[in-house]
Every structure is written in C-alpha cells, then in structure tokens.
Chains A and B, each alone.
Chain A
Amino acid sequence: MELTRRDAVAALTAVGGVATAGVGLSRLQSEGPSGDPEESLPPDQHVKESMVAIAEVVYPTEVSGIEPFVEEFLDSRLEREDHARGVRASVAELEDRAESWHGGPVTELSRETREQLLREVSAHTVDEHPTGTTAERMRYYVVNELLLALYASTKGGKLVGLENPQGHPGGTESYQQGPP
C-alpha cells in the first residue's frame, strides 16, 4: 500500500499537528524534556531522515511511500515547539547510541541493525512517557509518534480493515457499510 504526502496531512489532524500556533496550547501541560533550548539538537532535515529510517522498521513491509509521508507529517509536528524539542532530543539520543554501538548514523545502518538498535534501547518493552527514561521517551517521540501517524490515517486503518480509524475525520458513511 502506497502512502503519500496527502495521507500525512490527513494523519496530522489526528495528532493535533495542524497549525494552531500558540494560542490555547499553552494551557496544555508542556510536553518534552525541559532543559536548555539552546543545546544543540539536530535540525529538521536530519530528524526527518532518521525518522524515515525508523519508520522503515516500525511500519509493515507492505507499505511504500514512507519517505514523503513521514516528511510531510513531521513538517507540521516540528512546528510545535514543545513537542519538537522532545522529538529532536530523542532522535539525537538514538543517533548517539547508533554511533557508539554500531559505528554510524541511523540512516546508514541496515534495516536489521536499526531494529536491533531499537531493541537495545528497550523501546519495545516500555510504555510511552514524554518525560520518562530514554527508552520511554524513545517509545513516545519516535516509535509511537510514527505508529500513531500511520494507524490514525485512513491508509493505515485500511491495512487493518478500518478505513475511518479513531482520530480520522472520515465522515458518517463508512460505519453504515458492510465489509468490502
């Protein structure tokens, strides 16, 4: 199944990533590790490339078009300051581990090694937590961020047999229809 940029825009509505600049969101408890905002965190393009590499692990093999989907999705997500800081910091940490354990950036590791890396940081065994341990933050900002984008989109839902998944404004027709 081919993902597109358009699917990513639809997925964004599910995760509140559409531009709502500032107003109101300040009322939400701030997400993301606090700390020095000036500290050097990876730039957008780097984050996107690493996230695409991880998406290739956590998305099922039958989806294609991962790169434009993830890039479009992150475009808006990275505009949300608090959240973006969490994503950037988690990607930076993951890159750190990749470098020290496997001798290169995530994007240059084989798919198998990328998966091994995720398991080495224990991202599969923990529950997500935006301010928790490295593993919990990895689960929150990297793995679950990507899974939410896919499975709250109509394409991701269709993989499971549900073209209007929770979080997708897919109208009021599909619930009335029988299985295809």
Chain B
Amino acid sequence: MSSTDRTPVETADLCIVGAGPAGALIADRLASEFEVVVLDAGPRFEDESRLQRQKRAIRPFFDRPAVWDSDPERDAHSASGEWFYPLNHTRVKGIGGSTLHWQGMVMRLHEDDFNSGSERGVGPDWPIEYEDLRPYYADAEREIGVSGAEDNPFAPPRENRFPMPAFRPSYSDSLFAEACEELEITMHSVPNARNSESYDDRSECVGYGTCQPVCPTGAKYDATVHIDRAESKGATIIDRAQVQRLEHTADEIRAAVYATPDGIEHRQTADAFVLACGGVETPRLLLLSESPEYPDGLANSSGLVGQYFMDHLFAGAGGVLDERTRQNHVGFFTSESHQFYDEADEEIGPFKLEFSNYAGPSPVELALTGDDWGDDLLERLRADYGNHIAVRGLVEQLPREDSYVGLDPDRTDNHGNPVPDVHWNVGDRALRTIERANEIQHDILEELGAEITWTAGPENTGPTYHHMGTTRMGTDPAESVVDPALQTHDLDNCWIASSSVFPTGGAFNPTLTIAALSLRAADTVEGFLAKQPSSKLAD
C-alpha cells in the first residue's frame, strides 16, 4: 500500500491498534498466516530524518517531544493528580511507538514480581508465573536482539544465552567496582536492546551517544524492525490513522473507527482486534467507546479500565570526583546492581541500581547555552565536564485507587475527543524505597570519595516513563480487565497487549515483559483466528 492510501483493508482477519513493540511483534508473528492491518495514530518517520532529529536532541531550542514531532493538539492531555505527569515526554506516537525514544534496557522480571501479594505481602499476585513467561522471554530477547551476559547472580533462571555478548564495562564502572567491592555490593552487566555486534541486518552500535531520544543507525532496537518485517510478509500498515472509538456489540468489537489527516473517518472491520496503544491511550480508547451495553467504557464491567496507573520512580545521586570519569561517550549503561531487589517486603519495594555512563553535562550541549564563547567558553567546558559520576535507580510503586487514567471532560483533542487525564499518585512504600536506594547510592559515592552534589530523593523524584496497570490482568472478571491470555473478559475477539495489563510493576523497565506477553498472546490470537471461517488460513 502506498503511504497515502489510508483506506481500510476489506478482508482483514486481525486489526492491531498501535505500532509500538507490542503491536509490531504480534503483527510480525501473524502476518504470513493472516490478513493483518495495523493502525497507528502517528506518522511513519523516514530513516533519513534521524540525523536531523539527532540535531534536535542536542540543540537547546527543541524540547524532547519535538524530536519525534509530538503534536500538541493531537497529544493534548491533563494531569489532575497530586503528582504532575509530563505525558508527552514519556511516549512517542508513530510507527515504532515509544521505542523510537526509549533507552533500551531490557530485563526479565523476577519470580517474586509475579507474586507480590504472597511473597511480599502487598499488591495483587499476577495470574501467571515466571515459568509461564520464561520461554517467551527468551523468544522476545531473540526478536528484539539483546546484548547481555550471564554474570548476574540475582537474575531469574534462564537456559539460553543472550543473542549477543554484553557491552564491556565502562571506565567509570571500574571506579565504581572498587567502591562496591569494599561495600560488598555486586555489580554485573546490563541486558541492552542494542547491538554489540551486527544483528539481523542492523548495524552494531557506533557510539553516537544520543540513544535517548534517537539512534541514527538503528543499532538500538525499535519497533520499526517488526513493522517492516510484518509489512514484508503482507501486513498493511496505516499511519496517521487515529482510532476514535471501537464499534461493538455486547460480545465483540466490529470495527475500529479511525480518522485520517484528510478529515475522513474510516471503519476497519476484522475478526479479531488487538489493542496496543500503550498504557494511557489503551484505557482512553476503551473509555471513549462507551455505549448503552458498556455505559462506563468498553470492556469495563469490572470498573477497572484506567484504574491503578503506575510508573516506576527515579532515585539517584551524583557528584564529582577529583579524577577524570570519562562520561558521555555513549548513551547507555553497562553495569547495574540487582542485589537489593529481592529483599523487598511490605515496607520497602524492589529497586535496582544503575551506574551511569553519562553523569554530568554533555559538553556540546553546554557549549550551546551560556553567554560566553571563544577561550572563556572552552574554560567553562573544561571546568564543568570531566569529573562527574552518578548512581541511578528505579523503584517500584504499588497500584493505588487514587492513581488512574480517566477522561478530562473539559479538554478535547484535535478530533474533539476528551483527552486523557493521568491522575498520578504515589504511596509511602515507594517513597521509603527511594530513601533506601538513596542511602546505598550515598554509601557508594562516599566510598568513592565523591563530593555529592545532587540527590533525587522522595521530595524531587519523578516518573521513568513506564505506563502500567490500567487494564489489569487477572482470572476474576470482577477484579480485572483481561484474562491471563490478555483477552478481555467482556469481549470474545479483543486482546490487550501492553504494560497496562501488569497487576504490579516490579522495578525493571517493562518492555521485555511487554514483548514476552505479546508473543504469548499472539499464540492465543492465532488459535482464535484459525477457527474463524473467514480467515485467510481457512481459505
């Protein structure tokens, strides 16, 4: 299909809404067997534009949402919670979704993360175990292309090797290693969704150092990889197709109604639908699709669509040493510590520590601000760059009733639909966990002899851009929105692939788990489609 033909596919078996990793992986899995169409609200970005976007990432005029053309009207949002939520800094709309911008750290959740209620005494248990997801984690690592090593004594069991060797530790890791040895803190490698050698026809990492928000070479995985692959297998990808609502009966979705830039509304029918619009837009779309059968929102008999919004919280500390630390060469991490993760209980949540490779300012960014140039500027750059060091961390927050995604009736988007209201609140356990992480971070920095210059603690923490919890998975239809296979309890032909199904969040970046769950859901969707009389397979 040409990129300007945005008309529906007449005989679609499967319609996927959202071309981020969740939607892209399922599209790729099923495209050779079935007629698959993917609708995405955002544009298809040309690869050739990436170097221009990199310039935006460096130049002070452009903010982060501008790097991937966030549109203030299309992406309008509210944040009525006690905690402001900067939604458009935390996502990208377009083919590839938020992985265009992401950092690309990809860990498996720990076994206890699946049983927070029974093992840690707080939050619900997941309806599945680590063992259920384990083969799909391995599958996801192969699909995404993960560089990693088996040197992490705290990681859950795995039988296969990572697809690529881990990136070697950085020079600053070696400084941390001495301090951590003294404190008996074990450091280990980081699984990265970026190529330590060429993989799947994609280049190895060349060290541009702007991974977040743009990797010009494609060495960092993004979901365009699977969209392109799905397309080559026959899937139809329609960009700039904002799904407005889902037409339905009491038991099934009939069509996704989408608007294209020419102002026309189209109806995409299909036998099955996968909603993969991320943890904010997925519940929003369901809420926007309310009807006499579903007065509180589609698939919302439980009343839980949009409820229990969670993110991970940032905990960090940094400072300066009286020696060179060699930061800002690359834009990713090579060492972490998961040593404290499984100490989690009712009082303190799981958290992980990350040893930064880009602490302190980037000289080129510094050079473009300030009121000096020539020798004065160089002197400033030399004074400000060179000795910074930082330990960062991610902390779990629990699901809470006062943290949710709703609709803001007073504000509408470019199509007149109420915008999402991310009403975000965080509880005391998360704040205590940040304090605990800060204590360890300070210990490490002090052991190193650093002068500590900043701390991101309970007072000034922020979100880490992972949208979870808003269409919770469970076995009881009164207590959850989707079942363990990610199918909605209410509808027979609708699946949700997203971190929105996570009952609890753990403290690891979510996307490997999103990918594993999506691949697992693809199996069920495949079984469902194979039984449909109209499917391409049955022809």
| A contact set with B: CB distance below 8 Å | 13-18, 20, 23-25, 27-29, 57-62, 115, 118, 124-125, 127-130, 140, 143-144, 147-148, 150-152, 156-157, 159-162, 164-172, 174-179
Contact = CB atoms under 8 A, between A and B. Distances in A.
B475 interface: no
Given A16-B52, A60-B375, A143-B373, A166 B331 contact: yes
A17 B52 CA distance: 8
Contacts of A151: 363-364, 367, 381
The 3 closest A-B CB pairs, nearest first, are A24-B46, A16-B51, A175-B329
Given A24-B49, A166-B364, A175-B170, A128 B60 contact: yes
B209 interface: yes
B295 interface: no
Which of B52, B324, B365, B381 is the most central at the interface, judged by chain A CB atoms within 10 Å of its CB?
B52
A159 B378 CA distance: 8
Contacts of B470: none
B43 interface: yes
Interface in B324-360: 324, 326, 328-331, 334, 357
A85 to B, nearest CB: 16
A14 B363 CA distance: 14
Chain B interface extent, by class? 35 or more
A179 B171 CA distance: 9
A166 B208 contact: yes
A60 to B, nearest CB: 4
Contacts of A130: 61
A50 to B, nearest CB: 16
A109 B87 CA distance: 50
A28 B385 contact: no
Contacts of A167: 54-55, 58, 208-210, 364
B413 interface: no
28 contacts: A13-B216, A14-B54, A28-B52, A29-B69, A58-B373, A60-B378, A118-B373, A124-B372, A127-B60, A140-B59, A148-B367, A151-B364, A156-B364, A157-B364, A159-B381, A161-B382, A162-B326, A165-B363, A166-B58, A167-B54, A169-B208, A169-B216, A170-B206, A172-B196, A174-B326, A175-B334, A176-B171, A178-B324
A177 B171 contact: yes
B279 interface: no
B183 to A, nearest CB: 22
Which of B48, B167, B369 is the most central at the interface, judged by chain A CB atoms within 10 Å of its CB?
B48
B208 A168 contact: yes
B285 to A, nearest CB: 25
B57 to A, nearest CB: 8
Contact of B386 (A13, A20, A161): A161
B217 A14 contact: no
Given A28-B49, A58-B373, A166-B210, A147 B61 contact: no
Contact of A169 (B49, B206, B371, B377): B206
Given A14-B54, A25-B48, A27-B43, A169 B326 contact: no
Given A169-B208, A171-B206, A128 B61 contact: yes
Given A24-B47, A162-B386, A166-B210, 18 more contacts: A13-B51, A15-B55, A17-B51, A20-B52, A28-B52, A28-B69, A115-B374, A124-B372, A148-B59, A148-B367, A148-B368, A156-B364, A160-B363, A169-B208, A171-B207, A172-B168, A176-B170, A178-B174
B329 A174 contact: yes
Which of A150, A157, A176 is the most central at the interface, judged by chain B CB atoms within 10 Å of its CB?
A176
B72 interface: no
Nearest to A178: B171
